[in-house]
Amino acid sequence: MNLKTTRLILALILSIFLAAVVRADLKWEQTTLDLHPAISDKQAIGHFKYENVGKTPVRFKSVHTSCGCTVAQTQKDQVGPGEKGEITATFNIGGRTGVQVKNVTVETDDPAHAVTVLTLKATIGQVLEIQPTFVYWQGGEEPKAKTIIVRSGKDVPIKKLDVTSSSPDFAAKVEPGSAPGEFNIKVQPHETNRAIVATLTIKPDYPANPPQLFYANARVMPAPATQ
């Protein structure tokens, strides 16, 4: 091996070594956040923190979310060596309940971590559980009251329910249930000799601002056709 070839090989090795040492390296404090917003919260907000522990700047190329109910923002477009920052993900809760999982995909010019997926998990409690959400009577059936059971969610301090019917042909009365936070809605049609449909609007006293409305349905079915 001649001297020129040896020098070329050494230069190549040195360049590979320097590229490995002098590079961008974005480290995330965590890529998954588990949030438990309060019942009255309108949003769940997660802060994904990072630090550039490399020797060169890192530039954010794109940040996008998995659905329109979530938005994500970066503090800066470029992060210098030793700098810290965060990406803020905001999930608009709306009427959603249960476990909601939203992803934020981050693309950078860091060759070692070009794409990072951040996961925002929000567990949203229910204000009310309604069973059943639909009661009905057959045409000609005796118009006895039927019961809709309403239970407040965990740690939700509901003490009162207001219920209104969209039809004057149905009466709706609220009675205490068998356990704290439980209510019985007695629904009764005035007659069952014709088809009637009503929506029951259920309004708990919590949260007061903004109030939340829930719905159930009542119906008298058409009388069976006679032959």
Q: Which DSSP string do the residues of 136-158 spell out, in sequence order?
A: EE-TTS----EEEEEEEPTT---
| Whether 134 and 107 share a structural domain | no
CA distances, 195 to each of 38, 57, 178, 222 (Å): 42, 71, 33, 5
Sorting pLDDT into bands at 50, 70 and 90, what band is 45? very high
| Whether 169 and 97 share a structural domain | no
Query: Does any domain span residue 16?
Result: no
Tell whether the model's pLDDT for residue 225 goes beyond 70: no
Query: Does any domain span residue 2?
Result: no
Poorest-pLDDT segment among 98-107, 175-184, 204-213: 204-213
Sorting pLDDT into bands at 50, 70 and 90, what band is 109? very high
In the predicted model, what is the mean pLDDT of residues 125-145? 94
pLDDT at 23: 59
Say which CATH number the domain at 79 has: 2.60.40.10
Residue type, 122: A
The Cα 162–Cα 18 span in angstroms is 72
Share of the chain above pLDDT 70, in %: 88
Answer whether 115's CB lies under 8 Å from 104's CB. no
Query: Does any domain span residue 216?
Result: yes
| Whether 85 and 73 share a structural domain | yes
Tell whether the model's pLDDT for residue 38 goes beyond 60: yes
Average pLDDT in the chain: 88
Query: Does any domain span residue 3?
Result: no
Poorest-pLDDT segment among 15-29, 86-100, 149-163, 178-192: 15-29
| Whether 95 and 32 share a structural domain | yes
Nearest CA among 98, 84, 104, 168 for reference residue 126: 98
Which of 90, 124, 158 terminates a domain? The answer is 124
| Count of beta carbons in the 10 Å neighbourhood of residue 163 | 19
Query: Does any domain span residue 7?
Result: no
In the predicted model, what is the mean pLDDT of residues 184-192? 97
Answer whether 215's CB lies under 8 Å from 201's CB. yes
- If one counts the domains in the chain, the total is 2
Tell whether the model's pLDDT for residue 7 goes beyond 70: no
The Cα 163–Cα 171 span in angstroms is 10
Query: 51 lies in which domain range?
Result: 25-124
Which of 91, 124, 157 terminates a domain? The answer is 124
The Cα 214–Cα 128 span in angstroms is 8
Sorting pLDDT into bands at 50, 70 and 90, what band is 21? very low
Which of 98, 124, 150 terminates a domain? The answer is 124
